[in-house]
Amino acid sequence: MGLSDWLFGATPGQQAGQAVGEVAGKTIGAVFDGLYKIIDQFSTNDQEKIEAKLAVSRHQLEVTREFISDVQNARQMQTTNRSYWPGILSAVILFGFFGGGTYVLVYGLQPNMDEVSKNIINMFSVQLLSGVSAVIGFWLGSSYGSQRKDERPILPPTK
């Protein structure tokens, strides 16, 4: 994926979430794949291998169930215990985005600004943009796929 695809193809918040999910899945999958390899190397007979791999598979399933349960519990907690913090954080992000954008449009950037300062302002703008994307996704819903995320099993990749 190129930089332009990352910037214009989807919101940066979605890309970051997808990347974190992919890394977590690969990490968990790599741990269990390593266990399977150890079983293959050090087990002496086929019955031991089968029993050990079955035990690892059960543990892998339990880890996945715990992960799904944690996500569901967090969502349930947010819907039952109303908090002011999402609204406060959303207001701060939106105020920073529109306030900063208005300031730059009205006053512009200083002509004698060095490259480091321009890069800092650029990074700050991108972070505010991803924050606005997260706010919109939080309050309005981000996509059809995220509405159905509880229906899909979250399993680490296995071989």
Domain chopping of the chain, boundaries: 12-147
Q: What are phi and psi of 141, to 5 degrees?
A: 90, 140
- What is the rounded CA–CA span in Å between residue 51 and residue 70? 29
Q: What is the pLDDT along the chain (159 residues), one digit of tens a residue?
A: 454 444 444 444 455 556 666 766 677 777 888 888 888 888 778 888 888 888 888 888 888 788 777 766 666 766 777 778 788 888 998 998 899 888 888 888 888 888 888 888 888 888 888 888 888 877 776 565 556 655 655 555 565
140 touches 11 (CB < 8 A)? no
Report yes or no: 130 and 97 within 8 Å, Cβ to Cβ: no
Q: Output the pLDDT for position 132.
A: 87
Q: Name the H helices within 11-143.
A: 12-42, 46-80, 85-107, 115-140
In this prediction, residue 152 carries a pLDDT of: 55
